[in-house]
Every structure is written in structure tokens, then in C-alpha cells.
Amino acid sequence: METKLLKIGITQGDPNGVGMELILRIFEDENIYKYCIPVLYASPKTFTFYKKMLQMEQPMYNLVRSAEQALPGKLNLVVGSESTHEIQAGIPSESAGKEALNCLNAALADAKNLDALVTAPLDKSTVAKSEPTFTGHTGFIASFFKVANYAMFLESEEIKVALVTEHLPISDVSKNLTTDKIIQKLEVVHHSLREDFNRIKPRIAVLGLNPHAGDNGLLGKEETEVIQPAIKKLFDQGKLIYGPYSADSFFGSGQYAAFDAVLAMYHDQGLIPFKSLAFYDGVNFTAGLPLVRTSPDHGTAYSLAGKGTAEALSMRTAIYEAIRIVKNRKQFSEDFENPLPYSDLRRERFRIDF
């Protein structure tokens, strides 16, 4: 039986970054069309600029109004921006940020026709010049879908790390940690591990905030007053959640390998070890959204932009991972669609046929 190909939306990202050249190099390989119907939201000018830079002669795309018209076997291009931005590879600019935001908004407006969305990197600081509240893809997309409980979730085969706080100054982290917020993040991650990654009884480790996880209150009280109560509440509900662990020894000793995911309190606490272990094949996934959204785990890489040498593995992995998560969700839904009540399960287990 022929499997229906998924429609995967892809945003171009910052036109002065590496996003478009990575996308073009990935979809030059015809093998990827066996697994999805790609829909690229981009500026035709930016697309053409990088196609010429990479010396790709073939048209490579099918121009469509929306993902609804997308055809298999080719890269479908939706005009996400008609910007006249002058492309200067490697140089941040306000006009580049605006073009990246326009393409993201075009993809979100077309979300009903997509099975998943993969976002190429943009520059938060340049986007914020036209959208002052913008602090990153994760919160912006969650806000579009009106989702309050979500999690920034970095994942690879080796390690998965979610964050309680995301793009905050270090000085603001402690005052933004609450027991309720940690519980919400843990519940999102727990559900995502089951639905998106086939971990039916997941084990989650929680990191402390302070050095040595507070050293029993000597180096800070967040562990005892904020983090531990969240862990206990969910553990008492039967969820396998442990901690808080001292971050340095937790990663240094390889203890993370015993868990399906790790919840870090702030950005660098989780992302430094994650990127040390999985920089080239890591994927940034937003857990808790109705639409699967992934991205590479790197930024615009201005220093490499326009050279055609940036590593495409993380972007390629983000596309394949989006496909896999959509299929996992479908399988999870089918498997748990009509579960037997607990009493019926007991009768089935102990039934004796004569």
C-alpha cells in the first residue's frame, strides 16, 4: 500500500545567514522527495541569489500559492516575502530580519495545510527591530497557536534536553522559576516523550539551579523550595522523575544516559552539554504544539554564510525528524485510541477459557 507523503513546510530564515544555502543543498538530492513534499516559504529573490551562488542551473522549484497546491517530487515555493532586501551574506540587518519574519508568518498562515514545520535559523536581534516582543521561534510560534504550556526541547539519539526558561538574562532566571512552571514543563516533556518519541514510561532527570544543586541550602534555596516540590508532586503521581542533580557531575559522569530526557533550569545549563555532544546532528523541537515544529540546533552562522561550506546535517536531520515525529504521533493516537478500562484489562489477563 502506498504511503501518503507528508507536506513539510520550511522557512528560509535570515537571507544573510546560511539557511537558504543549506536548504538548496539538501533538496538538490532527489532522494529526499521519497519521504516528503517540501513547501518552502521564501523570497524568490533570495532563492535565486543563492541558487546562482551555488551554481545550480535547474529551476529546482514549483511556484505555488499555498501548501494545498504543492506537488510531490519537487521543491514547492510559496512567496513568503516580496522584499527588495539587498542580500549581503554574513551581515546582519533590519531588512533581513523583516524578510525572515515575513516568511515565518507566511508559513504559519498556511499551517492548516502542513503536517509539520521546519524553521531555518534567523537572527532574533534583527527580527526584534520590527517585532519588539520577538525572543525566538519557540515562543513566537507557541503564541500563534495560543499554546501556553510548551517546551523548548533539544534532541538527538544520544541525549534530549528541555528548558524551563529560554532566552532570559542569567540575572532573571531565578525569579522566573516557580514550582508550577517546572511542573508544567515536566508534564509537557513527559507527554511529548510518550507521544512523539515512543517512550511509554519515560524517565526524566531534573537539574538543580545552583552549584552542587544548592548543597542542601548552603549555596541557594531554589532546589529545596522550588524544584524538589515539583519533582515530588509528579513522582507521587507515578511519573518517573528524579533530581535535582548537580549539572556538572551529571553530564561529566555520563549520568544523562540513564534517562530519556533532562530538564535544565536555563538556556546554557542545558545547551552547552547538548551541543558538546550533538552539535552537528542535534535538532531543536518545540514540544506541546498542535503542529510538529523542528529546526537545526545552530544559528545563522554569519561567518560561514555565502561560502557554501556550512554543514547541512542538522538542518537535514530536522527535516527527517519532523517526518518521524508526525508518524510517531499518528501511531500513538492509533495505539491509544480505544484503550480497555483497567477492570477489563484485569479480566482479560485472568480469564480462563473452558
**For residue 1, pLDDT beyond 80:** no
The pTM of the full predicted model, rounded to 2 decimals, is 0.91
Mean pLDDT of 84-96: 92
pLDDT of residue 92: 96
pLDDT tens sequence across 30-76: 899 999 999 999 999 999 999 999 998 766 789 999 999 999 999 99
Domains of the chain, earliest start first: 1-147+289-354 (3.40.718.10), 149-284 (3.40.718.10)
Distance from CA of residue 73 to its chain's centroid? 26
Helix axes 94-109, 137-144, angle to 10 degrees: 40
Average pLDDT of span 225-252: 96
DSSP bridge partners of 41: 11, 78
Quote the pLDDT of residue 307. 92
What integer pLDDT is reported at residue 216 of this predicted model?
A: 80
138-159 per-position pLDDT tens digit: 999 999 999 999 999 999 999 9
The mean pLDDT of the chain is 92
pLDDT tens sequence across 322-333? 999 999 999 999
Q: Encode pLDDT of 299-323 as tens digits.
A: 999 999 999 999 999 999 999 999 9
Q: Round to whole Å and give the CA distance between 107 and 270.
A: 29
Phi, psi of 164 (to 5 degrees): -80, -50
Average pLDDT over residues 4-19: 97
Q: How far is CA 5 from CA 29, 98, 351, in A?
A: 17, 32, 43
Beta 116-119 vs 151-155: how paired, if at all? unpaired
